[in-house]
Amino acid sequence: MAYNRQAEATAPEFIEKVVYLNRVSKTVKGGRVMKFSALVVVGDGKGTVGYGLGKAAEVSEAILKGIAAAKKNMAHVVTSGTTIPHEIIGKFGAGEVLLMPAPEGTGVIAGGAVRAVMEAVGITNIRTKCLRSNNPQNVVKATMQGLTSLRGPEEVARTRGLSVEEIVG
């Protein structure tokens, strides 16, 4: 991998969180081959977030691959100040995550995988609950699905043909 100093200087500063590290093994003729997988969440703290899974023989390589995959998989999230505009349930596979807006001062009430995503997005007041599976990969994917499904008052007003004041007021 070539090191590009200029690209790094112009790139925005990202928050990188390792959600889950897993050691996996494959049994071959000569014994077991150990490798690592790393689930990584990357965000700018201003409403953009992505996740990636990296697999390699070394932990550091797996994390770097996960970060690269997460940067390719970035999505914008609609926020309402420091929280989300409305309640939503994100679903992926057997993972289901309930995301609820919270008033200022509540903080991030969430488990490990969801907390990492919220901190990377920049959401500081939210309540969450994992409803089904607690597998970190499915929980992160369900959280991302829920966050990308959020709609702001402008989008709802445009869909209904009303003004933003009629929707919010």
Question: pLDDT per residue over 80-105, tens digit each?
Answer: 999 999 999 999 999 999 999 999 99
CATH architecture of the region 5-75? 2-Layer Sandwich (3.30)
Q: Give the model's confidence band at 109: pLDDT under 50 very low, under 70 low, under 90 confident, else very high.
A: very high
Q: Is 94 helix (H, G, I), strand (E, B) or coil?
A: coil
- In the predicted model, is pLDDT for residue 39 greater than 70? yes
Lookup result for tokens 């994390």 = 63
pTM (two decimals): 0.88
Q: Is 3.40.50.1820 the CATH number for 77-157?
A: no
Question: pLDDT per residue over 158-167, tens digit each?
Answer: 898 888 888 8
Q: What secondary structure does DSSP assign to 3-39, as a single string?
A: --HHHHHHSPP-EEEEEEEEEEEEEETTEEEEEEEEE
**With contact defined as beta carbons under 8 Å apart, do 56 and 36 qualify?**
yes
Domain boundaries, the chain: 5-75, 77-157
